[in-house]
Amino acid sequence: MSHTIIDLPSVRDDGRLYRDTALNFVESLIPNPWNSCHAPDLLELGNGDLLCCWFAGSCEGNADVSIAVSRLSEDSSQWETPVIVSDDPTRSEQNPSLFLHPNGEIWLMYTAQVSRDPDNPTSDNLQGTAEIRRKISRDNGRTWEATETMFSAPGSFCRQKIQILSNGRFIFNNFRCAINDSCMGDDYTVLQLSDDQGKTWRSVMMPGSRGRVHGNIVELSPGNLICLLRSRSADHIYRSESHDNGETWSVPEPTVLRNNNASITAIRLQSGAVCVVYNDVAFNDEPERTVWPDQRCPVVLAISEDGGKTWPWRRIIEHGEGFIGPWNDVNNRRYEYPCLIQGKDGRIHVAYAWGYRKRIKYLCMDEAWIRGEKLCKGVGGDETLTCKR
């Protein structure tokens, strides 16, 4: 072939912020010096800095897996080199989340499970041995105090950050994992409630939540909450309601959004709409069956204006490699466990494990970008015309 080929520029693996000029959003690959990285979470600080945390090490479940944190300073255009902030040589530390307490403390919540023993291999992932721990920072995440165990019941797991309701209550969505042969299909949702800003907690069970986990609580109006959940059945995102500040919950029901038995994140936007980020693909239509598909793409942002009942706005932010069909699923690298926050300035920040957990990818856009402008744009300087549709 004698043609001259010009390489198109792409985001680089250096933590810098780049603008995708075709799709018009900001993106970055956060540095990750470890073999594997997974399950990021984001937090905006009062000074405008962003923190991103995730778990990193050789492989999920191994003893060298710990919590890493990186910072994007408000006056910088490049994510800092991440640092490890937890280190238990006997446990795999996973699923971190960052919570800004009203007193200014940052709470890093994460799980710690018995690590795999190379001399005694097991097919179980040992999440049934997990507990939930906390580390506190009083200097905007620069240093972290000693580790505390917050929830010690065996199999305690978490994903979403602690939420503060309009009445001041703290609510923290957990789920419980068992060691059995259900392939985690018996996991169920537990809500932790605190009415003294996290000094004491009590547990509330979500009925009918077997196989519905990684719940995301959104307060629609004072006292009225929804919880959007991952499904171990790889069928749909599920939805539960509470009308008493989280004291009682309805049995989760499937929404129209698909789920591949992978984590999601949902928040209430400043506009009042609900936004969720997830993998828009499903592999099963039997709600009692546990399914673990390999495919974790595409990554999609969706918006609802009726409390999560319908989702008319959906936009893909990560396509994957574009392979279709079960025989080709292995060719789609995993883009998974997306998290989502909205900054004080209205910008939406997203992060997820990218390319088989080799990097953490960060994106920034606004709500109008997700909804899509009704404009038809030409090329080569053509006039922009309003779409007639």
Is 2 domain-assigned? no
Is 321 domain-assigned? yes
The residue-averaged pLDDT of 8-33 equals 90
Distant-in-sequence, close-in-space partners of 135: CB < 8 Å, separation ≥ 6: 67, 85, 86, 107, 108, 110, 144, 145, 146, 147, 148
Burial class (CB in 10 A: 0-12, 13-18, 19+), 127: buried
Is 1 domain-assigned? no
Domain count, the chain: 1
| C-beta separation of 181 from 268 below 8 A | no
The confidence band for 330, taking pLDDT boundaries of 50, 70 and 90, is: confident
What pLDDT does residue 8 have?
67
Report how far apart, in Å, the C-alpha atoms of 158 and of each of 52, 58, 91, 155 are. 17, 21, 16, 10
Q: Which two tokens stand for residue 16?
A: 């810098």
The residue-averaged pLDDT of 29-53 equals 97
List, for residues 344-385, the tens digit of each pLDDT value.
999 999 999 999 999 999 999 999 999 997 544 554 555 544
Is 317 domain-assigned? yes
The residue-averaged pLDDT of 23-46 equals 96
List, for residues 81-119, the tens digit of each pLDDT value.
999 999 899 999 999 999 999 999 999 999 999 998 777
Given a cut of 50, whether residue 388 has pLDDT beyond it is no
Is 148 domain-assigned? yes
Average confidence score pLDDT of the chain? 93
List, for residues 289-326, the tens digit of each pLDDT value.
999 998 999 999 999 999 999 999 999 999 988 887 77
The residue-averaged pLDDT of 132-159 equals 98
| C-beta separation of 26 from 78 below 8 A | no
Q: Which two tokens stand for residue 363?
A: 């994106």
Given a cut of 90, whether residue 167 has pLDDT beyond it is yes
Return the higher-pLDDT residue of 300 and 125: 300
| C-beta separation of 261 from 247 below 8 A | no
Given a cut of 70, whether residue 75 has pLDDT beyond it is yes
Range in 20-24, 27-31, 102-106, 121-125 with the lowest mean pLDDT: 121-125
Parent domain of 241:
27-386
| C-beta separation of 28 from 18 below 8 A | yes
How far is residue 214's CA from residue 230's CA, in Å, rounded to a whole number?
6
Return the higher-pLDDT residue of 329 and 321: 321
Is 32 domain-assigned? yes
Is 341 domain-assigned? yes
What pLDDT does residue 381 have?
52
Distant-in-sequence, close-in-space partners of 37: CB < 8 Å, separation ≥ 6: 54, 55, 56, 68, 353, 357, 358, 359, 360
| CATH number (domain holding residue 190) | 2.120.10.10
Is 5 domain-assigned? no
List, for residues 171-214, the tens digit of each pLDDT value.
999 999 988 877 778 999 999 999 999 999 999 999 999 999 99
